[in-house]
Amino acid sequence: MQNTHLVKRRVIGVDISNDRTSFAIVDVRGNIIAQNHFPTDDYKDLNHFVSKLTEEILMLAEANGGYETIRSIGVSCPSASVVSGCIENAANLPWKGLVPLEAMLRDRLGIAVAVGNDAHTSGLGEHMYGSAHGMKNFIVVSLGVGLGSCFFSEGREHLGMKGYGGEVGHTCLVDHGRKCACGKEGCLEAYVAANGIVQTAQELMAESDQPSLMRDAKELSPRIIKEFCDQGDELAIETFRRTGYLLGIGLANYASLVSPEAIILTGGIVHAEQWLIDHVRDSFESHVFGNIRGKVRLLVSDLNDGEREILGSCALAWEVPEYSLFK
């Protein structure tokens, strides 16, 4: 006989990125019980993608304690709004325009689903399971292909009217500056996310004849530039110094508005470690509003890559009110 009073103590977190869709069953303590993934770009048709994801979620749940033990599902995806439940004009995903992913998954899966953008869910993940645990006012900045961010005020995330609160990556740093992927010019993201760092390296190489390992590299990425820093390459070191200086200005402006107790940096680029972070700190302290100078902690997330995205979407899953077609 079905137990209608079963307390559901597990959720499923889904992380959609342009190349891979990962999903996992996670318990109330944040333990990952089981996980799997498939290539996102094999499913350029939206209906095929939703069918594949639904099928995979059901299989994983059935193989690990049963679908009836799952409370809800949280989905993290670039350009998604938790307010509309839609992916809205994602630049790097195969599905264009407005994609009502939350409604599509809820219809097929029959339980509560919440969809939010990756910046928002990484904030939730840091708050529930990571470096921001116990904090009320903090900023999370994710540095990778893009620059995502969200901030919490008095213990709640600030979503804004449309669910995009905290988009510091697309605030203007340089008037008529570099072209940004969003279509504007001079955005912070265009200088400090992955492509921006590579562009800075190319500009530095063009400015002088100084020898550099970067000149002979087949391709450049923040990871490769960091390796050259470790080998003492001066232009590589200068690349991260400039990046850190500009990021420090962006974060100082952000902190001066929000007055957080901490800024938590996450994402692939934080692996540049001291080559970047020390310069961010120096620039931050010299640009931030005087009354909060020395009082905002700049932290690097202690959640692992891969784990962070899943835990963030699970934190979102716990926020959505429970609902089931099967009761």
Beta carbon nearer to Zn ion, 12 or 187:
187
Strand, coil or helix: what is 286?
helix
Amino acid letter, 168: V
Beta carbon nearer to Zn ion, 99 or 180:
180
Beta carbon nearer to Zn ion, 164 or 275:
164
Beta carbon nearer to Zn ion, 26 or 173:
173
Strand, coil or helix: what is 297?
strand
Beta carbon nearer to Zn ion, 180 or 255:
180
Residue whose C-alpha is closest to residue 85's, from 32, 162, 174, 139 = 162
Residues 188-227 that bind Zn ion (CB under 5 A): none
Beta carbon nearer to Zn ion, 149 or 212:
149
241 binds Zn ion (CB under 5 A): no
Number of residues that bind Zn ion (CB under 5 A): 5
**Minimum Å distance from CB 180 to Zn ion?**
3
59-70: buried (b, 16+ CB within 10 Å) or exposed (e) per residue? ebbeebeebebb
Q: What is the separation, in whole angstroms, between the first and last Cα of the chain? A: 13
Beta carbon nearer to Zn ion, 187 or 315:
187
In DSSP terms, which residues pair with 138 in a beta bridge?
Answer: 152, 262
For residue 16, CA distances in Å to 19, 35, 37, 248 come to: 8, 14, 10, 29
Return the range that interacts with Zn ion (CB under 5 A); candidates 12-20, 33-41, 51-59, 182-190. Answer: 182-190
**Minimum Å distance from CB 145 to Zn ion?**
13
Residue position matching structure tokens 């979503």: 159
**Minimum Å distance from CB 254 to Zn ion?**
15
**Minimum Å distance from CB 184 to Zn ion?**
5
Return the range that interacts with Zn ion (CB under 5 A); candidates 111-119, 185-193, 255-263, 287-295. Answer: 185-193
**Minimum Å distance from CB 106 to Zn ion?**
32
184 binds Zn ion (CB under 5 A): yes
**Minimum Å distance from CB 167 to Zn ion?**
9
Residue position matching structure tokens 């087949």: 218
182 binds Zn ion (CB under 5 A): yes
Beta carbon nearer to Zn ion, 109 or 187:
187
Return the range that interacts with Zn ion (CB under 5 A); candidates 74-82, 121-129, 186-194, 272-280. Answer: 186-194
- φ and ψ at residue 147, rounded to 5 degrees: -120, 105
For residue 190, CA distances in Å to 13, 196, 239 come to: 30, 5, 14
Residues 152-181 that bind Zn ion (CB under 5 A): 170, 180
Query: What is the distance between the alpha carbons of residues 172 and 213, in angstroms, rounded to a whole number?
Result: 32
Residue whose C-alpha is closest to residue 167's, from 96, 110, 118, 229 = 118
**Minimum Å distance from CB 172 to Zn ion?**
8
Query: What is the distance between the alpha carbons of residues 182 and 49, in angstroms, rounded to a whole number?
Result: 25
Whether the CB-CB separation of 43 and 49 falls below 8 Å is answered with yes
Neighbours of 19 (CB within 10 A): 10
Whether the CB-CB separation of 239 and 215 falls below 8 Å is answered with no
**Minimum Å distance from CB 323 to Zn ion?**
36
- What residue ranges bind Zn ion (CB under 5 A)? 170, 180, 182, 184, 187
